[in-house]
């Protein structure tokens, strides 16, 4: 047995390079299903060990056909994104270093990288520079983190200490939001013990953008409230009118939280940043680096204006506090105790791209989304449902017959071709195919190949 793991690591590097190099040669969709993969992996717990390098080879073989080509430039389903080169390599280092990024004392380096990255992000996204931040597993836990801070601060305003006394007997919190909100908001509300009934839908337009008068009326009914606004609605990329809505909410003492899983990132670009004017007036922001900042999973982002509320909601209890005066303990800002040093790949990506490179990547994605929409609009039997304002939009089958069924079949044919991959959605009661362009790899050639595949599938 080697102690440096060199053979296993060498083989992992070779398999990884082959995987990345073959991205445009393979189909985008997986070709092997879950049951066959379980068979391939062998169901029984192994009695005896296997040589480390052989394990790596086995894994690479077992994965063949079972991986989704979500790293390619022709993958447009959900909102997933790729991973820029240095971030993948940095992620390998994180595993080799195997640091526990809980506290400054368990890994000064992990704590330092995270502190630097947090400052960079506030600057990149132009949020209040003295806001606090946390790197979470995803936007889901970023919501939970931010809304925990909101819960504590709002209830404290009502004379209730939720960290000491819990929620039993507490004043009820209201969560005012759009019917088009992402499901992760609901789950965060449930996890925090606020209950689904805390959610109140405020009227909005077709894109889920809240109506100012409706929001004002809802807030005037009284009671401590969080207003959840969207920076990037999942189907259309639409953003709430922050300049209008944030002051209405703040004047009435509400906490404004922003779901900006992908859309908040557009603030670092040029072409779509105007959609986010006034977003910095909010109280908390949840986003993702693993989507549009193109780092490997998982890396979510939480930012909170009221640092004290954030820390009070998350603090690890103080047993380790003041382990370092020089750098913060991550445990005081996250839901996790032990955790991966996920700041390291993000540091690498931001170094590799720089502010200029990030902006160029974001603008490129928006441009490619517009080019796809233009091209799709010219295809017979296809209709663009909503033109992109950012990086997301929808199309669907056009013409005669059962259009919902035809839309579904069109998507299945495109996905089966292996040339491109889309996911479906329902918008205003009709089936649609959603397009999300968040991958740094998506090139003009990818757009052309995708349009050819749609043309073929539609004919």
Sites of contact with ligand PLP (CB under 6 A): 79, 138-140, 182, 184, 232, 234, 259, 261-262, 288, 300
3-state secondary structure of 320: coil
**Residue placing its CB nearer to ligand PLP in the complex, 107 or 284:** 284
Is the CB of 12 or the CB of 286 nearer to ligand PLP?
A: 286
Shortest CB 9 distance to ligand PLP, Å: 29
CB-CB contact of 286 with 134 (8 Å): no
Classify burial at 183, counting beta carbons within 10 Å of its beta carbon; exposed 0-12, middle 13-18, buried 19 or more: exposed
Strand order in the sheet with 392-397: 382-386, 392-397, 430-436, 423-427
Q: Are 275 and 261 in contact (CB under 8 A)?
A: no
Please state the separation of Cα 107 from the chain's center in Å. Answer: 26
Q: Are strands 174-177 and 225-230 parallel, antiparallel or unpaired?
A: parallel
Residue of minimal CB distance from ligand PLP?
138
Q: What is the dihedral of CA 393, 399, 402, 404, to 10 degrees?
A: 0
* CA 339/CA 314 separation, integer angstroms: 14
CB proximity list for 281: less than 8 A, separation 6 or greater:
242, 243, 246, 247, 250, 256
Residue 265's nearest CA partner among 243, 239, 247 is 239
8 A C-beta contact, residue 215 and residue 246: no
Which is nearest to 390 in space by CA: 357, 410, 406, 368? 368
300-304/132-136 β-pairing = antiparallel
Nearest to 78 by CA among 446, 451, 428, 425: 425
Burial of 81 (0-12, 13-18, 19+ CB in 10 A): buried
Using omega within 30 degrees of 0 as the cis cutoff, is the peptide bond preceding 234 cis? no
Residue with tokens 């009284």: 222
Contact 235, 394 (CB under 8 A): yes
Helix axes 307-314, 139-157, angle to 10 degrees: 110
């Amino acid at each position: 047995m080697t102690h440096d793991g060199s053979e296993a690591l060498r083989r992992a590097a070779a398999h990884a390079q082959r995987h990345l190099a073959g991205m445009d040669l393979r189909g985008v969709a997986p070709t092997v299903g879950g049951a066959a993969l379980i068979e391939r992996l062998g169901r029984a717990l192994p009695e005896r060990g296997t040589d480390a390098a052989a394990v790596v080879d086995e894994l690479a073989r077992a994965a063949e056909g079972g991986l989704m080509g979500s790293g390619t430039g022709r993958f447009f389903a959900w909102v997933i994104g790729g991973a820029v080169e240095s971030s993948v390599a940095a992620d390998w280092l994180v595993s080799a270093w195997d640091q526990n990024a809980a506290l400054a004392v368990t890994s000064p380096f992990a704590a330092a990288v995270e502190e630097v990255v947090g400052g960079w992000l506030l600057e990149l996204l132009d949020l209040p520079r003295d806001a606090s931040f946390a790197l979470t597993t995803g936007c889901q836990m970023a919501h939970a983190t931010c809304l925990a801070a909101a819960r504590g601060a709002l209830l404290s305003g009502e004379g209730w200490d939720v960290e000491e006394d819990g929620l039993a007997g507490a004043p009820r919190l209201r969560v005012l939001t759009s019917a088009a909100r992402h499901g992760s908001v609901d789950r965060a509300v449930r996890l925090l013990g606020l209950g689904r009934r805390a959610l109140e839908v405020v009227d909005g337009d077709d894109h889920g953008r809240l109506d100012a008068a409706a929001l004002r009326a809802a807030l005037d009914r009284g009671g401590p409230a969080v207003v959840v606004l969207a920076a990037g609605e999942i189907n259309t990329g639409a953003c709430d009118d922050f300049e209008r809505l944030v002051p209405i909410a703040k004047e009435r003492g509400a906490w404004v939280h922003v779901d900006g899983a992908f859309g908040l990132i557009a603030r670092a670009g040029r072409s779509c940043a105007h959609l986010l004017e006034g977003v910095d007036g909010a109280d908390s922001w949840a986003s993702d680096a693993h989507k549009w900042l193109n780092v490997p999973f998982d890396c979510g982002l939480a930012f909170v204006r009221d640092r004290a509320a954030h820390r009070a909601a998350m603090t690890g209890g103080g047993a380790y506090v003041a382990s370092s005066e020089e750098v913060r303990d991550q445990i005081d800002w996250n839901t996790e105790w032990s955790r991966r040093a996920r700041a390291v790949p993000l540091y690498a990506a931001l170094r590799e791209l720089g502010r200029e490179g990030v902006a160029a990547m974001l603008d490129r994605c928006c441009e490619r989304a517009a080019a796809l929409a233009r091209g799709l609009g010219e295809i017979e039997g296809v209709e663009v449902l909503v033109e992109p304002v950012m990086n997301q939009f929808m199309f669907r089958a056009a013409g005669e017959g059962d259009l919902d069924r035809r839309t579904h079949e069109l998507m299945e044919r495109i996905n089966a071709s292996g040339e491109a991959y889309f996911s479906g959605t329902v918008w205003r009661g009709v089936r649609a195919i959603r397009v999300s362009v968040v991958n740094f790899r998506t090139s003009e050639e990818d757009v052309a190949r995708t349009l050819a595949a749609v043309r073929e599938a539609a004919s």
